[in-house]
Amino acid sequence: MSDLVLYHASPSRSSVVLWMLEEIGEPYDVKLIKLADNDQHKPDYLKLNPLGKVPTLLHKGVPITEVSAICTYLADEFPARKLNIPPGNPQRGVYLKWLFFAPSVVEPAANDKVFPRKEPARPTAIGYRDLDTVLDVVAKAVSPGPFLMGEQFTAADVALGSLVRWGMMFGFIPKRDEFEAYAGRLAARPAAQKAAAKDEQFAKA
């Protein structure tokens, strides 16, 4: 058994971690979780991820949950791949901002659009803006790019880039030129292609 074990449902948010693991290039094992069979609610899995969600990554037996936390952790833990901006570099703050921006700003703004609230939330009380405003910020950050941190591809591109790719695929993010160009650059990465091919097999399993 590898030090790294991904609990994965294909395709889902755990596909983001699958891509991240391919970028890292360390050996890992995959344990498939069948959401339709409610594997995520089984007692043994709830011990690892009390919310009963995927992904969960085990590293040396320690469970880590939350996509962006896992991507941040892996990039720091395996720095040779240069997928992080390390402590000491003032750009690390910007890098971390994008890693948090994905789940705490883009995702909730997208959810509000896909699942509108009966009563709109007070804009000053929620921690993000409407999806159009949020996406303007992302579009500016990825053009000309090529990546969020400029020339360096980082874990932030895996986390936020996955949302952009998925969002356009499922129609909750508009196919703006900036996003299509950025998604194209991400899809061209060999690790992204390897992860996509594996995920296709996992989906059939």
Ligand X SMILES: N[C@@H](CCC(=O)N[C@@H](CS)C(=O)NCC(=O)O)C(=O)O
Q: Give min distance, CB of 12 to ligand X, in A.
A: 4
Q: Which two tokens stand for residue 114?
A: 């896909």
Kindly give, in sequence order, each residue whose CB lies less than 8 Å from that of residue 155, ignoring residues fewer than 6 positions away: 20, 23, 71, 72, 74, 75, 83, 84, 99
> Minimum distance between the CB of residue 143 and ligand X, rounded to whole angstroms?
26
Contact indicator for 22, 189 with CB cutoff of 8 Å: no
Nearer to ligand X, 31 or 185 (CB): 31
165 is an interface residue for ligand X by CB under 6 A: no
For ligand X, which is the closer residue by CB, 24 or 163? 163
Q: Is 12 in the site for ligand X (CB under 6 A)?
A: yes
Binding mask 61-100 for ligand X (x = CB under 6 A): ----xxx---------------------------------
Q: Which is nearer to ligand X, 76 or 181 (CB)?
A: 76
Single out the residue of 40, 84, 154, 162 in contact with ligand X (rule: CB under 6 A): 40
Do residues 20 and 70 touch, judged by C-beta distance below 8 A?
yes
Nearest-5° Cα angle at 111, 123 to 160: 100
Cα 29 off chain centre by: 19
Smallest separation (angstroms) from ligand X to the CB of 150? 25
114 in Cβ contact with 167 (< 8 Å): no
Which residue in 8, 13, 165, 198 binds ligand X (CB under 6 A)?
13
Sequence-distant (≥ 6) Cβ neighbours of residue 126 within 8 angstroms: 108
What is 46-94 written as a DSSP string?
HHH-TT--S-EEEETTEEEESHHHHHHHHHHHSGGG--S--TT-TTHHH
- Pick 55 or 167: Cβ nearer ligand X: 55
52 touches ligand X by CB under 6 A: yes
Give yes or no for residue 108 binding ligand X (CB under 6 A).
Answer: no
Cβ proximity to ligand X: between 2 and 65 the closer is 65
Contacting residue, 63, 103, 108, 146, with ligand X by CB under 6 A:
103
Q: Phi/psi of residue 29, each to 5°?
A: -110, 155
List residues near ligand X by CB under 6 A: 12-13, 35, 40, 52-55, 65-67, 103
